[in-house]
Chain A
Amino acid sequence: MSKQKKYELIEAYLGGDLDEKQKKGFEKEIASDKDLANEVKLHKKIQADIGDPKKRALRGILAELRLEYSKSAIPDNVRQLQPPRNIRRILSIAASVTILGMAFWYFLLKDPAEQQQIADDGVVPKEEQVKPPEIKPEIPVDVSPSDPSNLAQNNNTEKQSPEEKTPEPKENQPQEIPSFDAYAVNPDLEQLVANIEASPFDFEMEAPLSNMQLTRQNGKVQLGVLGTLFTAEFPEEDAFVIQVFDNRPASYTNNQPVFRSKMNFEKAEDEQDISFAGEERDIYYFNLRENLTIELGLYYWVIALEKGGTVVSSGKVLVNEQE
C-alpha cells in the first residue's frame, strides 16, 4: 500500500468514514501492528489539536497579544511590571464611550453631595464600583476564638446562632464523642472558599494554596502564610487576620479556629507600583510561619479584615502524616 493510501485509510478510520467491515478489518490490523497503532495515534492527536478550530483561534489571538504586550514592554531592569500602554490606548477607544455613558448614568443617580464629591475627585469611589462582600455591621473590634460574636459567625448572616447549632450536653449524661471524618468537607466553608468576591485587596498567596497538602512531622505542622497583597487602599485603621479552622461545622460557626493571628505586612518600597488594568496599586509582602500542633485532616484558612469582616482570601489544606 502506498503511503498516501495508508494516510487516507487512517483518516477515513478516524473520520468514521469506513463501513463496519472495513473498520473491523483495520482495527485488527492496528491490534497486530504496533507501528501502525502509533501512526494512528499520532494522526488522531494532530487532528484533535491543530484540527480544533477554537484552539487555533485561541493560539492566533495569544500570539497577537504576546506581540502587543512585548512591544510595549519597558526593559526589565527599568520597570518590569509597567502595563502595555498601547493596549490601553486600543481598549480605551472602545471603552471610552461605555465609560462616559456609565459615568453619566451614575452621576444622574447620585445625590447632589456625592455628585459634588465625584466631580471633585474625578473618580468613582472604588467601593462603588465593586461592592465588597459586606459582613454584618456589628462585628466586634476584638475578635478572639472564644468570642461567640465572631468573624466566622459574621461571614454568614443566614446562619443559626451558635446556641441553636450546639446544644449544651445534659448533665450526668456521658458526653458522646461523635465519630467524625476528619477529611469530610465543611459545606459552609466550601461555600466561603468558592465565593470570595472582589475587594480592593488582591491577595496573591504563595502559601497556603488551596488543596495544598501539609505534612505533620513529629506532631507538628509548619504553616507558612506568605504572599503578596496588591492594593491601592491599605487599611491603616484595620488589620488582616488569618484563621485556620478544622472541618467540623461547629468550629466555624462557633468561631473556634485552631489558629488565629494578625498579619504583618511589609511595603515593597524598592519596587514601583503595579498597574491592574490602569489602576496603580502598592505592593505589600507578608510572611508568617507557625508550627501548629493539630490533628490530621482537612483544614480551612480564612483571611479577613478584623474590623470590617470582609473575607479577602480563603482556601483549604490537607494535613497528612509525613511518610
Chain B
Amino acid sequence: MPLMKEKEEYYLNAIISGDRTGLEEIYAQFFPRITHLITKNGGSRDDAQDVFQDAILILYEKVRKDDFKLSSNFYTLLHGICRNILGNRLQKSSFKEVTLPDDLKYTTGDDIEQDIFILEESQLFWDSFKLLGDDCQKLMTLFFDRVKMKEIMKMMGFGSESYAKKRKFQCKEKLIGFIKQDARFNELKNK
C-alpha cells in the first residue's frame, strides 16, 4: 500500500477511534491551512476553530458509516467539508465580509444540509449535557454505556438501586429539559 494511502487511513482511524496523537497531527498538518481559508474569507481564528472542529465531527459521522469510501485524499475531503461549512456560515452572515466569488457557485455531491443538521443537533445535545453537574454527567455516561444499575449504585455510592434509578431519571429529565429549552431545539425541529 502506498505511503500516502496509509497516512490517509491513519487520519481517518484517528478520528474514528479518538486517537489523540493522530488528532494532534491532523491539527498540526491541516489547521493552519483551514485557518488561512477562513481568515481569507473574513472569518476570525475562532471561526476557523469552529469550522475545523465541526468538519472533524462531520467526518466522524461520515467515516463510521458502512458505505463510506474515501474517494479523494483526506485533505481534499476535509477542505471540501470546511468550504461547505464556511458557505453555510456565510449565508448566516456571521462573518464580516464575503469574498467567495459569486460567479463560482458550486454544489458538491455531499448532502451538506443533512451533515450540518446532524452536527447542529449533536452540538445541542452536547452543550446541554455539559450543563449537567459532574455527578449527573458521570451517572448518565455510565447509564449510556449500559452499566448495570447495581454497578452504578456501587460506583456512585448510592444507598439503593431504586435511588440510583431515580437519580438517573432526574438527570435525564434535566438533560432533556436543557435540550428543549434551548432556542436551537425549535429551530432544528422546524427544519
- On whether the beta carbons of B56 and A58 are closer than 8 Å, the reply is yes
- On whether the beta carbons of A224 and B28 are closer than 8 Å, the reply is no
What chain B residues lie within 8 Å of A55 (beta carbons)?
A: 57, 60, 122
Among B118-167, those with CB < 8 Å from A are 121-122, 125-126, 129, 140-141, 144-146, 165-166
- Please tell me which one of the listed residues B17, B18, B24, B103 contacts residue A222 in the complex, with CB atoms under 8 A apart: B103
- On whether the beta carbons of A207 and B4 are closer than 8 Å, the reply is no
Contact with B along A26-68 (1 / 0, CB 8 A): 0000000000000000100111011101111111111001100
- B62 contacts chain A at the CB level, 8 A cutoff: no
- On whether the beta carbons of A210 and B80 are closer than 8 Å, the reply is yes
- B37 contacts chain A at the CB level, 8 A cutoff: yes
Q: A49-B122, A57-B18, A274-B36 are in contact. Are A3 and B173 (CB under 8 A)?
A: yes
- On whether the beta carbons of A50 and B37 are closer than 8 Å, the reply is no
B175 to chain A, nearest CB (A): 7
Among B16-36, those with CB < 8 Å from A are 16-18, 20-21, 23-25, 27-29, 31-33, 35-36
Distance in angstroms between the alpha carbons of A208 and B17 in the assembled complex: 32
- On whether the beta carbons of A65 and B23 are closer than 8 Å, the reply is yes
- B190 contacts chain A at the CB level, 8 A cutoff: no
- A116 contacts chain B at the CB level, 8 A cutoff: no
- On whether the beta carbons of A207 and B3 are closer than 8 Å, the reply is no
- Please tell me which one of the listed residues B80, B106, B110 contacts residue A213 in the complex, with CB atoms under 8 A apart: B106
Tell me the interface secondary structure of chain B in the complex.
Answer: helix
- On whether the beta carbons of B80 and A209 are closer than 8 Å, the reply is yes
- A228 contacts chain B at the CB level, 8 A cutoff: yes
- A83 contacts chain B at the CB level, 8 A cutoff: yes
Distance in angstroms between the alpha carbons of A8 and B170 in the assembled complex: 12
- B15 contacts chain A at the CB level, 8 A cutoff: yes
- On whether the beta carbons of B73 and A196 are closer than 8 Å, the reply is yes
- On whether the beta carbons of A49 and B126 are closer than 8 Å, the reply is yes
- A193 contacts chain B at the CB level, 8 A cutoff: yes
Q: Whose C-beta in chain B lies nearest to the C-beta of A52? A: B144
What chain B residues lie within 8 Å of A53 (beta carbons)?
A: 144-145
- Please tell me which one of the listed residues A8, A83, A226 contacts residue B165 in the complex, with CB atoms under 8 A apart: A8
Among A291-323, those with CB < 8 Å from B are 315
A323 to chain B, nearest CB (A): 13
Distance in angstroms between the alpha carbons of A193 and B71 in the assembled complex: 8
What chain A residues lie within 8 Å of B45 (beta carbons)?
A: 70, 73, 76, 80
Distance in angstroms between the alpha carbons of A57 and B23 in the assembled complex: 11
- On whether the beta carbons of A209 and B108 are closer than 8 Å, the reply is yes
What chain B residues lie within 8 Å of A50 (beta carbons)?
A: 125-126, 129, 140, 144
Among A220-248, those with CB < 8 Å from B are 222, 224, 226, 228, 230
Q: Whose C-beta in chain A lies nearest to the C-beta of B37? A: A204
- On whether the beta carbons of A76 and B44 are closer than 8 Å, the reply is yes
Q: A42-B179, A276-B29 are in contact. Are A4 and B169 (CB under 8 A)?
A: yes
What chain B residues lie within 8 Å of A315 (beta carbons)?
A: 72, 76
- A212 contacts chain B at the CB level, 8 A cutoff: yes
A9 to chain B, nearest CB (A): 12
- On whether the beta carbons of B104 and A230 are closer than 8 Å, the reply is no
- A251 contacts chain B at the CB level, 8 A cutoff: no
- Please tell me which one of the listed residues B2, B33, B126 contacts residue A195 in the complex, with CB atoms under 8 A apart: B2
What chain A residues lie within 8 Å of B16 (beta carbons)?
A: 54
- A202 contacts chain B at the CB level, 8 A cutoff: yes
- Please tell me which one of the listed residues A42, A62, A87 contacts residue B56 in the complex, with CB atoms under 8 A apart: A62
- On whether the beta carbons of A58 and B32 are closer than 8 Å, the reply is no
- On whether the beta carbons of A66 and B49 are closer than 8 Å, the reply is yes
- On whether the beta carbons of B60 and A224 are closer than 8 Å, the reply is no
- On whether the beta carbons of B60 and A69 are closer than 8 Å, the reply is no
Q: A73-B45, A212-B107 are in contact. Are A61 and B4 (CB under 8 A)?
A: no
B137 to chain A, nearest CB (A): 9
What chain B residues lie within 8 Å of A135 (beta carbons)?
A: none
- A115 contacts chain B at the CB level, 8 A cutoff: no
- Please tell me which one of the listed residues B60, B121, B140 contacts residue A45 in the complex, with CB atoms under 8 A apart: B121
- On whether the beta carbons of A56 and B49 are closer than 8 Å, the reply is no
A and B contact pairs by CB, cutoff 8 A, 9 listed: A3-B173, A49-B125, A55-B122, A58-B56, A70-B45, A70-B49, A83-B32, A207-B104, A226-B104
A50-B126, A278-B28 are known contacts; what are 10 more A-B pairs with Cβ within 8 Å? A55-B57, A59-B57, A66-B49, A69-B27, A80-B36, A195-B2, A207-B101, A213-B107, A228-B40, A276-B28
Q: Which 6 A-B pairs have the closest CB atoms?
A: A57-B18, A51-B144, A211-B109, A212-B106, A277-B28, A4-B169
